[in-house]
Chains A and B, each alone.
Chain A
Amino acid sequence: MRVSAALPTGVAALLFESARRRRDAEERLVARLREADYSEVILPILDYLEPYESLLTPASRGELYRFVDRDGDLLALRADFTPMLARVLAPRLASLPLPLRLFYRGDVIRYQEERAGRAREFYQLGAELLGVPGERAEREVLCLFLELATAVGSGSLQVVLGFAGALDGLLLAADVAEPALLAAAVARRERSEVRRACPTLLGVVENGVPDRPEDLGPEAAGRLRGLLALRDELAAAFPQALLTIDLAEFARNSLDPRLLSAGVSEGERPYYDGVVFHAYAGPAALPVGGGGRYDRLFRALGAEVPAVGFSLSLERLLETAAGGVEEMRT
């Protein structure tokens, strides 16, 4: 009998050289994480759905593979490491010595519409720093992220930075019936919609930051100044990376309960509540990872701890290093 080599949509088998390349890259990154005193955690591929129910948005629910176990329990395949790690640690946190520096590696499985280039299985490597307050943790995690992302891949890395809730004041002050639609328009940079609703947001749509930082309100303006200083410091330390601050990119990372109840945060990773960032690599600028502060995820699970982390997609990083799309663009 001839057996077909076809695999289900969105998954791939890595054979020979491609397997070796990924393991090599992984070992290099893991060695660096260990050097930085991060300890590995190994998490299961399956978990109960129930602990995550209150944390899910329509988008993150839509990407879950859920099924009923033979015992009748509702289970889900791992679609994101961060909430899983948080839910495993939250009940134990009181008895653990802080700070905790942890890293993980493994697959996440996410349902994605069937389209070319959309995988459903991703190999991720990530790190989380728990128990270090304020900017110190953000600086450490961003430095580590930049170091790892530039160690593998083509070297041309673009990192977009912002912080959750930056535009909340402007979104709430805008003359619109549905702030969720305005936040989506800002995130898509739809100018006419934004110009009509809130001309101040137009500067954010065009340049990533408002013409006058104080337009964000005193607290957010202060945070923006702090982030600009951190960006400059990181840009000097990592000249091979292009770091930009763009608040429009994170328009839907809201903190205000009024906006949250209006459905502004409908994205896949809505738990970020401080600094948030994502990165693109290679000439085709493939999304290769991201992260941020997510204290509220722990709070939602009954634990108070400052938490910052990131994840990297190894396949994407290696794709940029392999020069597939690069060759086409040069």
Chain B
Amino acid sequence: MIRLALPKGRNLETALAAFRAAGIPLDGAGANDRSLLRRLPEEGIEILSLKDWDLPLYVGHGIADCGIVGSDVLEEVDGDLLVPVRLLAGRSRMSLIGRDPVLPAPGTQVRLATKYPNTARRLVAERPWGAEILKLSGSIELAPVLRLAELALDIVQTGRTLAENHLVEIETVAEVAPCLVVNRASYQRHRALLNDWIGRLEAAEVVS
């Protein structure tokens, strides 16, 4: 039995579609399913439903053998997980956002609002300007709109929210993709099955 952790948020449907395309049906693990742990005995799979931010911890501790989680979360929590493939669908970008289309001038100090303080700290360390990092838990775009911060570091998918709030995407910092993550020890134990899954995901051209 292998235990797969699926995210509750925007990556759930993307993950299910990718597995379906690869011929690994995870029926019953849909968005309307409220059970936290579901067994698919015929497939030899147990599905664990987790929030994005908790998922790397569960996989890192071996409670789940593998899972699907966004690279934005993965980079932020800094776990020692294997990342064999990234899904092609559900991609977005992490960008610096502000009211004006320019980055701060060298030597200036600004405030930067984000859900990703560790990623932001690493980013700012390489810039000629400085920033006080404000960690928020949601509606990051509001911070520059209401002048809580000059900049925001957040996920941009279509850019519509930004346009509606008169904000601009100043710089794309990274591409964000839902990733298949695997616990190191689980990879040794379930290597044949995981390689089979990865091979089928690759053959279905739903991952890179």
Contact = CB atoms under 8 A, between A and B. Distances in A.
Interface of A: 113, 115-117, 158, 160, 188-192, 205-208, 242, 244, 246, 249, 280, 283-287, 325, 328-329
B63 A158 contact: no
Given A115-B77, A207-B191, A285 B186 contact: yes
27 contacts: A115-B57, A117-B57, A158-B185, A158-B189, A188-B82, A188-B83, A189-B83, A190-B83, A190-B84, A191-B85, A191-B202, A192-B85, A192-B86, A192-B208, A205-B84, A207-B195, A208-B191, A242-B188, A242-B189, A280-B185, A280-B188, A284-B61, A284-B62, A285-B62, A285-B185, A287-B185, A328-B63
A179 to B, nearest CB: 19
B197 interface: no
A285 B183 contact: yes
A113 B57 CA distance: 13
Nearest to B46: A329
A244 B188 contact: yes
**In the complex, which range does the number of interface residues on chain B fall in?**
20 to 34
B182 interface: yes
Contacts of A249: 184
Describe A's contact surface by its main secondary structure. mixed
Contacts of A206: 195
Instruction: Across the A-B interface, give the 6 residue pairs with the lowest CB-CB distance, nearest first.
Output: A285-B185, A284-B62, A280-B185, A285-B62, A189-B82, A189-B84
A186 to B, nearest CB: 11
Contacts of B195: 206-207
Contacts of A205: 84
Contacts of B61: 117, 284, 286, 325
Contact of A246 (B3, B78, B182, B188): B188
Contacts of B189: 158, 242, 285
